[in-house]
Chains A and B, each alone.
Chain A
Amino acid sequence: MITAWVLTAAGAALAVGLELLEALAIVLAVGVSRRWRDAVLGAAAAVVVLAVVAAVVGPVLLASLPLDLLRCVVGVALLLFGLEWLRKGVLRLAGRRAPSSSLREYLEEREAMEALPPAAPGRPDWPARVVAFKGVALEGLEVVLIVAALSGGSHGAAPAVVGAGIAVLAVGLVGAVVHRPLARLPESHLKYAVGLLLTSFGVFFLAEGLSVAWPGGDVALLYVAAALLVVSQLQVRRIA
């Protein structure tokens, strides 16, 4: 039982942390190159929208489904997210796709924002607000969907929420202290690991939703993840 709890919390923490780092990169770039007030307002508006989406997707939509159907929905959602993260991870590790870098996104976004004409003093900077809103809303929507999906497991929402909470604190600390994304974070490898975890949970939940009893119970998460690790590493070597 502890295996699934720890893996869920770890998966949520990593997925949420990496997505929030990307959102943070955009908000920091807007704040540094334009005005902090507009960057924060845009980001705050996105957080409000995401809170509404989270309330609808989690307590209203998912909580109303029967358990087996819920696990099938959650399994399919996790497979869609997990396999995409895993595909990109394999391509990155094989050198067939640019490495993931929040710092690079930050620098590119900053350059793009600096190229825009400055806002008039005392007037709202709408381009800055829209960019900050869009960045946080899109990255945050993936966070909401992943946390909601991971909350559909047998342990309920607790491990996913704990993992997400740790990630929010860690990324908030990075933003407050460093004021720019971390340069040395192995984002490509971490995203590959998230892909492995989400895909493993996807297979596990989908099978459980289809009334499959895994040999070993929750331990199945480990051998499913091991099988995906081996296959994906073979793919990395094949296409490198």
Chain B
Amino acid sequence: MKALRKLVLGETWTIPIGVALVLVVGLLLRGDGWWVGFVLLAGVIATLSAAVRRVP
């Protein structure tokens, strides 16, 4: 189970939490216009930056 969790969610909680936040923001802004895609991209970039900052 540990291997399966690591496979799906990865080695840190930063990425699943970040992706969940990106999804929530996307759902809140749904249908507001083309710029929502760039908000999602910014959220993903922030998630990556936070995940890389937590170097093991």
Chain A residues with CB under 8 Å of B3's CB are 138
**What is the predominant secondary structure among interface residues of chain B facing chain A?**
helix
Bitwise interface map of B from 11 to 52 toward A, beta carbon under 8 Å scored 1, else 0: 110011011001100110111011011001100110111011
Chain A contact-residue range equals 35 or more
A84 vs B49: C-alpha distance when bound (angstroms): 12
Shortest C-beta distance, A18 to chain B (Å), equals: 14
Are the C-beta atoms of B37 and A207 separated by less than 8 Å? Answer: yes
For the complex, is A199 an interface residue (Cβ under 8 Å from B)?
Answer: yes
Are the C-beta atoms of B52 and A214 separated by less than 8 Å? Answer: no
Are the C-beta atoms of B37 and A84 separated by less than 8 Å? Answer: no
A210 vs B35: C-alpha distance when bound (angstroms): 12
For the complex, is A130 an interface residue (Cβ under 8 Å from B)?
Answer: no
A138-B7, A206-B22, A206-B26 are known contacts. Are A91 and B52 too (CB-CB below 8 A)? Answer: yes
Chain A residues with CB under 8 Å of B51's CB are 83, 87
Are the C-beta atoms of B55 and A210 separated by less than 8 Å? Answer: no
The interface size of chain B toward A, counting residues with CB under 8 Å, comes to 34
Are the C-beta atoms of B40 and A203 separated by less than 8 Å? Answer: yes
Are the C-beta atoms of B8 and A80 separated by less than 8 Å? Answer: yes
Shortest C-beta distance, B49 to chain A (Å), equals: 6
In the complex, chain A residues 190-238 whose Cβ is within 8 Å of any chain B Cβ: 199, 202-204, 206-207, 210-215, 220, 224, 227-228, 231-232, 235
Are the C-beta atoms of A142 and B7 separated by less than 8 Å? Answer: yes
Are the C-beta atoms of A239 and B52 separated by less than 8 Å? Answer: yes
For the complex, is A43 an interface residue (Cβ under 8 Å from B)?
Answer: no
The chain B residue sitting closest to A68, CB to CB, is B30
For the complex, is A76 an interface residue (Cβ under 8 Å from B)?
Answer: yes
Are the C-beta atoms of B45 and A227 separated by less than 8 Å? Answer: yes
Chain A residues with CB under 8 Å of B7's CB are 138, 141-142
Interface residues of A (CB under 8 A from B): 72, 76, 79-80, 83-84, 86-88, 90-91, 96-97, 138, 141-142, 145, 199, 202-204, 206-207, 210-215, 220, 224, 227-228, 231-232, 235, 239
CB<8 Å pairs between A and B, sample of 20: A72-B23, A79-B19, A79-B22, A79-B44, A83-B44, A83-B48, A87-B48, A87-B52, A96-B55, A142-B7, A199-B44, A199-B48, A203-B40, A206-B26, A210-B27, A210-B31, A211-B31, A212-B40, A213-B34, A232-B48
Which 6 residue pairs are nearest across A and B when measured between Cβ atoms? A84-B10, A207-B37, A212-B37, A87-B51, A210-B26, A210-B30
